Each structure stands twice: as C-alpha cells, then as structure tokens.
Structure 1
Amino acid sequence: MPKTRIHPGDVIDGFTIGELAHRGGMAKLFSVTHPDYDFPMLMKVPEMGAGTDPAMIVGFEMEQMILPRLSGRHVPRFVANGDFATQPYIVFERLTGKSLYPMLDDLPRPPEEVASLGCRIAAALVDLHRQNVVHLDIKPSNIMFRETGEAVLVDYGLARHLHLPDLMDEEFRLPYGTAPYMAPEQILGVRSDFRSDIFALGVLLYFFATAKRPFGDPQRLKGLKKRLWRDPVPPRALTPDLPKPLQEVILRCLEINPARRYPTAAQLMMDLQDLSKVTLTARAEKLERDGWGAVIKRRFNPDPMELLRPQAATETAAGAPIVMVAIDLSDGSDELADALRLTVSRIIEKTPNARIACLNVLKIARISLESDLDAEGNNKHVARLVQLKHWAEPLKAPEGTITYHVIEAISPAAAILDYARQNIVDHIVMGARANSTMRSLLGSVSGEVAATAPCTVTVVRVRPPGDAAE
C-alpha cells in the first residue's frame, strides 16, 4: 500500500527525498536526488487522505499517462512514475525559473510586456498542441520560464491527450478547471478543443493588461455559464492606453464560439510578435459591453457553438496552417508571379483558415552607406510593402488572412529560414530563379531554403520558352 506520509531522507525507488518544495491542495512536491541523474528534480506525490476528491486521483493518473509522452523545451523533462499499488509519484526536472504567479501582485503590466509574455506562452501551446495535448488549465501558476526565456507548461492533471482515453470525461460529468480561465465549451463538457487553451490565454492577457479578470471568479456552475452570453468589459475601457491591436487580439481569444477565435496558437503567436500587422475589426474599437438586447438574444437564442470531437480538433488545427510566400520583387517575371499566385490560391481554396504571410527580403550589403530611398525618393521598405500588397490583390483573400513583411538582411535564404522558424511556418512557397546563368553565379536561394527548412517547401518554376513537351 502507498505510504501515507513521506519524510525527508526516505528512499523511494532509488530517489532520496529532500525538502518539501511546495504544498498544493492536491499534491506535494519534494526535491529528490538519484545517483543516475545529475540535474535538479522534483517528485510530485498526491494527497490521499480522508476526503480526497476522486477527481484528483483520476487527474494524477492522467498526468502519469500524459507527461511521459511529452518532449521539448516547453514541458518539464519526465524522469519516472510510481504505481498506485505501491507509491504513486511523478519525478520530473526542477525548473530553475519562476512562474507567472508572483507577478499577480504587480498588475497591470505594460502592453509590450503583456504581448511578449503572450507570445512565449502561445509558442509553448503550439508545441503542446502538436503533440496532441490540450492543457485545459492554463493559468499563471502553471506557466514557468526557463532561464533561456522559453515558457514551460506544468501540471497536466486536467489535460486531455487526443490519442489516449480521457478518464476525466469517462468518470465525471461536472466540468473541471480553474474558474476564471475556463472556456465556454469546457464548461459544457467539451475537453478536446485546442482553442480552449487559446481562450484561457486570452483571459490571462486580459488580466495582466487590466488587473481585472474578464469573467470574475465564479464558484458555481451558474456563474460559470454567464460567459456563454455575457461579454467582458473591453480592456481599453479599463486601461485607456492599451493599444487597439492588443485589444483586438485579446477579444478574439475570448470569443464565445471557438470558431471565431484564432484557429491555432501559431496564428495567435504570429500576431503577438508584431501587433502592427494585426487586422483591426470592431473588436479593437469597443469601449463598452454589448447592450442588453444582444445579451438576451445570446442567452435565449444562442448561435450554434462549434463543438469538436478529438478527430475534428486535429483536423481543424491542420486546416489552419501558416503559409509563407517568399516573393522576389526584383524578378519582374509576370509568368512567375502568376504561377506563384496560382499556387497560393489553390492553398487558400483547400485551407480557407490558412494565414498567408507575404515576405520580401530587402537585401543589404555587409558594410553599406547606401540610402534607404530609391531613385524616385521613396522609402524602399514602404515601397516594397506596397508592391507586396499589389502582388496579392488578385488573390481576393478574406480580410485579415494575408499579412505583409519586408525584412532587411544580408542573406535572403537565411532571412527566409529565420522567419519560418520564429513564426512556426508550416509551408514555404517561393519561386525559382529563372535565369540559369544567375543561378550559377549567385547560387539558388530556393535550393538553400529547401535543403534546411523546418517545414514543407514548394518551389514554383516557369517552363522556359521552347521547352514544351512534344
């Protein structure tokens, strides 16, 4: 049988128990050492005394199932598990950084800091969702940071792995989560939608930007359900100097219907990285909550909410890729421009939720005193942005699905690759250099990108005249 009490100096499966590092409502965390491991570790041991909530035990089982299947910089490194028949525990790396929780004593935070924090947390969600896990308990105490700056998501007791049995859903009918951060669909019992984590991150961004929780901290199901029809006070009404693009991002995350939120954490991260590229809608201008007419309509005649099964959640994420189109504006080839647009239009047709990032590299010399104005006296950067928008006009894409980026760099290939890695791009589309002589003299940018890109690369070529098949 499991030990009811664990003390410093005890040895469990070769792990020597050290000091009590943290005591929560459901588990204790002890520092531990082991001769086979040379890094700091923690052992998580569930509380199992009288009156223990059965959901806590099931949640611990879920964490034992999920954590060993996770990897990467955005999750704690798993070490070992202990069985409930002898002694239940989980051992994982002890992170040396701090959680977000202590920052709650010093809110609100500056908008640029809120956006930066959100961007790093969204990056962690991208990594987690790609491993088929919905966290379902995103909140300040469950977010830590490595010394190198990456956000780390901890505590998977409420999480759902889409390829594993969901014991929480099978054994309980009440929604479980942290009240201020629970998404509407989570309150209704849906535990398989990645966008629930996007909602929770929106709550966190709102809280850090305004020092107010958008939906309060209700303790009963009736109070939780109010967020199904009552919108929060717009953040700019509480913090007037909050940039409109940041309010746009936050309120989009907090949409009641998951279909109106960001389809993926990657697209959210992309907007938080550069708020100047955010497409503003009526959300950005709001200074008051919706009127009672709209609230009553949502209360008694709500829009059908898109509730996703596990397979549908995976399909939805796959259907919202970030596609970067690297455009060489100096090429001047109408044929290549048309071929690139045709390829992109086919992608948009097949994946209407795709985010298209049109990118041009403004090549600069290693040591240069050249002007940032062109021969006509126009700013080169601005002129390139105008050209990119002109290039994309024939696509007739929905508003907000295309963004435009001009990057100054010495190496076009390196700039394209850096952008793809930083923005977690799923697909790069680019044209091949048309002139074979130029390719031999200058090398192939597309070849270098295709060789080392972290994602799929489509290289579009135009058949030379006279090269048609007979």
Structure 2
Amino acid sequence: MRWRLNPGMAIDGFELQEHLNTGGMAQLWTVTREGDPTPLVMKIPMLIDSDDPLPIVCFETEQMIMPRLTGPHVPRFVAAGPLDPMPYIVMERIPGESLKARLAEVPLPWPEVAAIGVTVANALHDLHLQHVIHLDVKPSNVMIRETGEAVLIDYGFARHEQLPDLLAEEFREPFGTTPYMAPEQVLQDRADPRSDLFALGVMLYFFVTGKRPFGNPRGDQIRRRLWRDPVPPRALRPECPPWLQEIILRCLEVDPNERYATAAQLALDLENPDQVTLTERAGRLERDSGMKTFKRWLKARKTKALEAPNIAGQLSRAPIVLAAVDLSPGGEDLAEALRMMITRILSIESEARIACVNILKTSRIAVDILEDAEGNSLHVQRLVQLKHWGASLDIPKERISYSVLEAPDPAAALVDYARHNNVDHIVIGARASSALRRYLGSVSSRVVAEAPCSVTVVRSPRDRRSAEG
C-alpha cells in the first residue's frame, strides 16, 4: 500500500489504535474519535498491492450497502472515505470473537450447533428483509453479541436488490468462499437468498461432524456440488439426531426449491425439533446412488442462472402464517371459517409455512388441573384436535406445524410466539361481540393492537349475521 499505517496516525478525525488483522483484501484497525466512546473499527482495503481490481469493487460494494443496513444483526455504520485519497469504512466494533474461534473445538455438541443455527438463521432473515443476500456466510463472518444475537460482517461479496451489482457487472466468474458456495453461485447466480441457507447448512454440517461436506475444492472442482451430495452427517456422527440431519441435508439440496424457502422457516424448525417432518433424508447413511447423481449431472449441464434479483419475491412467496385456532366447544363454525381463510391464503402464497397454534389457558394464581376426569392429558387432547383441524389443508407435511401453548394470557402468548418466530401474518377467529368482551377487550382485538405483523380477523357466517343484526 502507498500508506504507511501506524498507531497514532489520524485519518479524517479517527485515530488508529491497534492493528487487528490483515486479510486478503483489507486491514482492520481499532480507532477512536474524540468525544465518541463507542468502540470502533476501521476497515482499509488493500488497493495497491496488486493489479487485481477485485478489492476495489468489493470495497465499493460494501461502502454502498453498509449505510443502508440497520438492526442488531449488522455492525452499525459510522463513516466512509472515498478511494482518493484514503478509502476506509468505520463501523462499530463487535466485542468478542467470530464463530471461526470455535473451529478448533469441532465437532461441537449437537444442541449447541442447533442453537448457533437459530441465531444465524434469524440474522439472515433480518438481512434478507433489508433486500440483501450476504453470499459469503462462513464462521469468520459471524460474530455473536454479548446479548446473544448473531452479527453478519463483511459485505464485499453481498448483493443488494436495489443497488447495482458491481461484481456481476465487472466480472464473469463466481464469487464466495469455495467450501461454502451454493451450487447456484457456482453458476454465477447471485440473485437467490436461499444461497445463504446453503452456506449455513455447510456451517452446521461442519460444526456437527468436524468435516466440510464438500471439502476445500479448487478450480473446477467446485462444480461437483452441482450433482454430488455429501456424506450424511449421521454416518460420521451417529449421535446427531435424525431431525438435525433432516434440516442440514435440506439446506444442502442442490436445487434451491428443495431447501427451506426462507431463513425464518429454517429457524422455526431448528427451535422446534419435535415438529420437524422427517423424510428419507433423516435416515440416510450413504450418499445418493450413481443413477441419481448422474441425473443431477445431466440437469446441471442445462441449468441457467436467474437474470434478476429475487429477494423480495422469494420472501413474499414464503411467509410464516400463524393460524390461531380456537378449539373450545361451540366454536366449530369459527374453526371452519378459519380453515377456509387459511385455504385461501395457501392458494395465493405458494410456499407459505403454516404454524397452527392453540392456547391452553392456565390460571395466574391457582394450581392448574391439566388432566380430565379420566386422567388424560388436556395438552395431548388439544394437540390431537389441532392436528385433526389441519389435516384437510392441502399443504406438504414439512410446511405445517402444530403447537399447544400453555399460558394465562392467550393474546400475549400469541403475540410473543409471532415475534419470536418471525411470523409474517396472523389469522385469528373472533366470536360474536358481548358486553364482557367489550369491557375486557377480546383476544383478537389485543392481537391486532400488539402484533408485530399483519393480522386477519375471521368471523363465522353466523356471527357475522349476529353482528349485522
């Protein structure tokens, strides 16, 4: 570089403190600014050491994207300098280490791997909602805040749906870290948010087994993932539960359409293993047969990349819909009206995930009796009823789940479930109005007022006629 950087050097009011790291394309320094107590880090690209234009393009990409990002899952952007005289990006310094520090400990206990997966999937969902695909998800690019949230760093290879894609415009080659690259990235397709889910699947596989599913390929070897599946995790680590293998292998599917539709749907499965629908993936102990691999090889020869970004479109086709099902006696008409509304939504939202939820109300003070007179569990009875309610919905089993929540405040429980699981839409039934409901506030009205997402309130035909009367 033409700049000789030393501690104490000032750049646009930022004073260099400690040299943290020199990577392939940038140096990292801790910096301070007078009057600002925030821990900061400055990223300075390596632009002069070679004739390679890639560091310049990656720097410009990151400089465009970072100011648009907000929330706990990204570093807070502070300032940036132009290419001339001194390019840099200043952002908050995330305390602690990246997930790369855990690689020396692999394989990790599978419960810890699942917990890591939840935090990273939630971070990816938040990033995708901001119209960005990361396209370089790997342990060194994931930090964990002291509060537990995952923070995604390094946006040099990222794609923002509403900004020019400088990498695609200036180069005709795939970009990413080869062990983590999705098959579509190999084909230079930078438009699918499910590429990040593939990379997360590679991470989970590595943390569970201690091995990368596709090794560390060089050159044209990366094309093998267009047709070659990995050794199933349980063949290497039998203690890996079938549900976790199901999730990991689904993330690693060659065809993006066979992966999870969104990061939010992936997080929901990781947090609710008892609701994961097991397919043949869960019991697999060997790679696919030669014939199946050969068919994928033939298909890979004809595969073409997408021509335009598809981030918002993919998320809109695959919402998480919470169906708040009331199974109380006398509510059959309302439950049927709710089912009709969910059916209507499924006809429009082609990849929606339906979370059927029922609240088993408990007392705030008294000791609750959660068994009937014959000693049968009320929780189990409700779960059976809930599954019976959803059995007629025309939806693949892996896209519907059932939860009975025990809570003294049904509205608060529904809102909390929606917030925690990134629910996009709540559909809830409302019974006919009464003086008591008007005085206390109905569950549906509170959900409408407090939910972090869209809410549709459904009434039965009989209750609608009563309201009109």
Superposition TM-score, scaled by structure 1 size: 0.96
Q: Identify the residue that residue 122 of structure 1 maps to in structure 2.
A: 121
Q: Give the whole-Å Cα distance in 1 for the aligned partners of 2:193 and 2:323.
A: 26
Note the 1:316-335 alignment, pairs <5 A.
316-335=314-333
Give yes or no for the alignment of 1:171 onto 2:170.
yes
Q: 1:293 aligns with which of 286, 291, 294?
A: 291
Find runs of 4+ consecutive structure 1 residues off by over 4 angstroms. Answer: 301-307, 465-470
Deviations 1:52-109 (A, max 9, x none): 5311211011000100110100000000000001100000001112210111001111
The Cα shift of 1:371 comes to: 3.0
Tell me the C-alpha RMSD between the 2 structures: 1.7
The Cα shift of 1:376 comes to: 3.2
Deviations 1:291-345 (A, max 9, x none): 2222222223449658434453421221100000111211532221111111100
1:304–1:257: structure 2 CA closer, same or farther, 3 Å change rule? farther
User: Contact (CA 8 Å) 1:257, 1:306: kept in 2 or not?
Assistant: no
For 2:32, what is the secondary structure of its paired residue? strand
- Structure 1, unpaired ranges of 5+: none
Q: Give the whole-Å Cα distance in 2 for the aligned partners of 1:5 and 1:363.
A: 67
User: Contact (CA 8 Å) 2:323, 2:427: kept in 1 or not?
Assistant: yes
Q: Identify the residue that residue 130 of structure 2 maps to in structure 1.
A: 131
Q: Identify the residue that residue 408 of structure 1 maps to in structure 2.
A: 406
Deviations 1:359-397 (A, max 9, x none): 011111123323321223211111111010111123232
- Structure 2, unpaired ranges of 5+: none
Matched letter for residue 327 of structure 1: V
Q: Give the whole-Å Cα distance in 2 for the aligned partners of 1:196 and 1:395.
A: 30
Q: Give the whole-Å Cα distance in 1 for the aligned partners of 2:163 and 2:366.
A: 57
Q: Identify the residue that residue 236 of structure 2 maps to in structure 1.
A: 238
Per mean C-alpha deviation after superposition, the further-off stretch among 395-404 and 175-184 is 395-404
For 2:310, what is the secondary structure of its paired residue? helix
Q: Identify the residue that residue 93 of structure 1 maps to in structure 2.
A: 92
Q: Give the whole-Å Cα distance in 1 for the aligned partners of 2:456 and 2:157.
A: 39
For 1:324, what is the secondary structure of its paired residue? strand
Matched letter for residue 451 of structure 1: A
Q: Give the whole-Å Cα distance in 2 for the aligned partners of 1:309 and 1:364.
A: 53
Q: Give the whole-Å Cα distance in 1 for the aligned partners of 2:312 and 2:339.
A: 28
1:278–1:300: structure 2 CA closer, same or farther, 3 Å change rule? same
Q: Identify the residue that residue 384 of structure 2 maps to in structure 1.
A: 386
Per mean C-alpha deviation after superposition, the further-off stretch among 432-441 and 133-142 is 432-441
1:368–1:58: structure 2 CA closer, same or farther, 3 Å change rule? same
The Cα shift of 1:421 comes to: 0.4
Q: Identify the residue that residue 77 of structure 1 maps to in structure 2.
A: 76
1:464–1:184: structure 2 CA closer, same or farther, 3 Å change rule? closer
Q: Identify the residue that residue 209 of structure 1 maps to in structure 2.
A: 208
For 1:33, what is the secondary structure of its paired residue? strand
Q: Give the whole-Å Cα distance in 2 for the aligned partners of 1:74 and 1:405.
A: 28
The Cα shift of 1:19 comes to: 1.2
Q: Give the whole-Å Cα distance in 1 for the aligned partners of 2:419 and 2:468.
A: 38
User: Contact (CA 8 Å) 1:263, 1:316: kept in 2 or not?
Assistant: yes
For 1:464, what is the secondary structure of its paired residue? helix
Q: Give the whole-Å Cα distance in 1 for the aligned partners of 2:464 and 2:177.
A: 64
- Percentage of matched positions with identical amino acids: 55
Q: Identify the residue that residue 59 of structure 1 maps to in structure 2.
A: 58
